[in-house]
Structure 1
Amino acid sequence: MHPSSTEAATNPHVAVTVACVALFTDMLVYGILIPVLPLLPAVAEAGASATGLLFAAYAAALVIVTPLAGRVVDRHGPRGPLLVAVVGLACACLLFTIGGPYWLLLTARTLQGAAAGLSWVAGLSLIAGTVPLRQRGTYLGLAMSMVSVGVLAGPPLAGWLARFGGHSAPFLCAIVLLAIDGGLRVAFVRPTPPPDDDPATAMDVLRTPGCRPVVALILFGAAAAAVGLVLVGIGPNYPVIIAGLMCLGVAIALLVVPAGALIGVQGAIATPPTIGGAYSLYNLAYAGGLVLGPAATILARLPSRFAVMPG
């Protein structure tokens, strides 16, 4: 995708606002599901392994859709993927509102992961394609801060709404927010003419000199952020919770945000240039970190669990 074509169609400040709202809404729904999903009757009846499968379905769909999203963004611009993503996420919320059976929740979770893959790649590409390089790090940092706000605000909001309105209340609230989000995407993200050349892919960006350390940085930063979220969730006391928040803050501020700007540069110097491919690679590394972070935390806690087991 040629940045100049997007720049002419979509105002940079509007693009940043739309991307920030998109990322916030996406991660708010993700955060809402953290306390609510295991408590749904269909999930509770299916057992703990069924809960794990639901969370794995999100990650699997995210990984599968992300490369396709990068290709579509490069060929047709971010508007289409952003619109499809918000519709998909709204449908997922409607399915979660129903609350079962289990296969329906699994379908909803998969749909949520697919929507996230579209929304993240298109939203970050929208910023990279409209904001000048000297300001890109600042605005990508703002967008990533919305990710943190969304995922941290989701669980307490879900608990408060579920207490007064039942398990469906958090998802109905999310649907209202998605309607506002979708309106912004329709109104302010302009269509982008397709490029004349054949856009590159995420693997072409990965072969660009200097790209592998950036990807490693994103992977490590996402893993550190995931560890922070796990510590916040399981922390029995304030020191553990504070450590989790510090881990999350450092990962976002010092690792993920600079790497987000750098991966856009790598996409720009790839042959041929590809913003969508760059941010699909970013999303894949980020998703990998989200999987590895909690897994590492669980493995680290296993020795202490076995130590207290009788016999």
Structure 2
Amino acid sequence: MNQKRNLKKAQKSALFVVTLAIFTDMLLYGMIVPILPDYADSLSISQTAIGILFGSYAAALLIATPVFGVISDKVGRRGPMLWGILGLTLATLLFAFANTFWLLLICRILQGIAAAATWTAGLALLADFYPSKERGKVMGIALSGQAMGTLLGPTFGGWLYQLGGYMLPFFAAAGIALIDGLLRIFLLKEEPHRKEEDASGAWQLLKNRTLLLVVGAVVIGAAIPSVLEPTFPMHLQNVFDASPGIIGLLFGVPSLAYAFAAPIVGSVSTKIGHPKTITIGLAITAVSLTLVVMPTTMWLQVAALGLIGISMGTVLAPTLPELADIAEQSQTQAYGVTFAIYNTAYSVGMMLGPISSGAASDIFGLQLSYFAIAVMVLVYMLFFAIMTQLKRK
């Protein structure tokens, strides 16, 4: 009885710590969005260099993720979780004193490396602690932390920047990271017993066709918000004469909808099946991308953006437990490598979204470009549905 009670307590501690860790990471990631362009301008940094600064996070995350996946399977989850928060705190403090492009670039790269350690080890820890039937719900809860951090980060950073100048947001963020780090130290005292994993065997997961199909869905789910970033603000200005503040609030709508949808979708997907839920999510994505550029009234626009957020949750929330199940069925507990694959796919989606959206808008215009992307999502949805059905048979 005591053993069961202790397990429940350890599970709850792990879920709390991982959700908070993901929230902190995304809060600090988004915090610099309203700060960096203005500060970079004061340092006479070009727009191209600003673009490199923003893109360097995803590039660092992409490169570092497989490394931390293997490491966390070898040494456990607690170590990389602590290294991640240490790196994030250091990057945040360095940001406060960075006064050249190269220092800013180092900070952003370090932030991406820290995120790779936190996300990979954190998600793997949840897979270690929770059985298959509970993973949908807990992974959804963890993703709600991501959504809330994304939602609050720019607002938090912009408000503190206006209140106290450039350094204040980073000192405040370092304080939050310190609290997060202390909680990781004191609450993550034990891990479930895991058998020693052979890294070469773990990478055999890449030959699993269902896993590759899920990876494609993760790329699409990650690309959904980034499709909007380079092109949609101008649309809101043209149609609604929206100010930057209103645009910022509207961009918060998908994140809020995502935060509410992810835990619910995670629970539902456990009951009806993760592949079926992903298929539904891809269908909603195609519809929402088509609808989001149609409204001429603000309330309809809010509803369309809310649907975008729901589609993100419906695609991404089931992919995490499905990947864990695939690893388990392959008779491996290499969840670090498994979620390294997830993070890599997510990074690719973050990079492909703005590129595809910007290029297609230049060629076809905004409405046709979103429609073209929606058609590609719909084609993948049909391919995904057919292939997963054949695999099941």
8 Å CA contact 2:228, 2:354 repeated in 1: no
What corresponds to 2:357 in structure 1?
297
Other structure's SS at 2:324 match: helix
CA offsets 1:38-74 (integer angstroms, 9 cap, x no match): 1114675120010111122111110111001110111
What corresponds to 1:248 in structure 2?
309
Percent sequence identity over aligned pairs: 33
8 Å CA contact 1:90, 1:178 repeated in 2: yes
TM-score calculated relative to the size of structure 2: 0.70
Partners of 1:294 and 1:164 lie apart in 2 by 31
The 1:122/1:21 distance shift into structure 2, 3 A limit, reads same
Query: Is 1:213 matched with 2:213?
Result: yes
Query: Displacement, 1:130?
Result: 0.6
Partners of 2:94 and 2:201 lie apart in 1 by 33
RMSD (Å) for aligned C-alpha atoms: 2.4
Partners of 2:86 and 2:333 lie apart in 1 by 29
Partners of 1:10 and 1:276 lie apart in 2 by 23
Aligned residues: 298
TM-score calculated relative to the size of structure 1: 0.88
Structure 2 counterpart of 1:113, one-letter code: G
Structure 1 counterpart of 2:71, one-letter code: V
The 1:9/1:84 distance shift into structure 2, 3 A limit, reads farther
User: How is 1:257-276 mapped onto 2 (pairs within 5 angstroms)?
Assistant: 257-270=317-330, 272-276=332-336
8 Å CA contact 1:65, 1:114 repeated in 2: yes
Q: Which has the higher contact order (CA 8 A, sep 6+)?
A: 1
Structure 2 counterpart of 1:86, one-letter code: I
8 Å CA contact 1:228, 1:244 repeated in 2: no
Match of 1:281 among 341, 358, 364: 341
What corresponds to 1:56 in structure 2?
55
Query: Displacement, 1:34?
Result: 1.2
Unaligned regions of 5+ residues in structure 2, if any? 1-5, 241-297, 367-393
Partners of 1:13 and 1:186 lie apart in 2 by 15
What corresponds to 1:309 in structure 2?
none
8 Å CA contact 1:200, 1:273 repeated in 2: no
Partners of 2:42 and 2:318 lie apart in 1 by 39
User: How is 1:153-168 mapped onto 2 (pairs within 5 angstroms)?
Assistant: 153-168=152-167
Partners of 2:214 and 2:34 lie apart in 1 by 33
What corresponds to 1:3 in structure 2?
none
The 1:12/1:179 distance shift into structure 2, 3 A limit, reads same
Structure 2 counterpart of 1:195, one-letter code: K
The 1:223/1:54 distance shift into structure 2, 3 A limit, reads same
What corresponds to 1:77 in structure 2?
76
Partners of 1:155 and 1:127 lie apart in 2 by 28
Structure 1 counterpart of 2:219, one-letter code: L
The 1:229/1:77 distance shift into structure 2, 3 A limit, reads farther
User: How is 1:98-247 mapped onto 2 (pairs within 5 angstroms)?
Assistant: 98-192=97-191, 195-200=195-200, 203-228=203-228, 235-236=236-237, 237=240, 238=298, 243-247=304-308
8 Å CA contact 1:228, 1:246 repeated in 2: no
Partners of 1:230 and 1:78 lie apart in 2 by 36
What corresponds to 2:245 in structure 1?
none
Unaligned regions of 5+ residues in structure 1, if any? 1-6, 306-311
8 Å CA contact 1:67, 1:202 repeated in 2: no
CA offsets 1:169-198 (integer angstroms, 9 cap, x no match): 211111111011001110111354673342
Partners of 1:100 and 1:72 lie apart in 2 by 34
8 Å CA contact 1:199, 1:273 repeated in 2: no
User: How is 1:16-27 mapped onto 2 (pairs within 5 angstroms)?
Assistant: 16-27=15-26
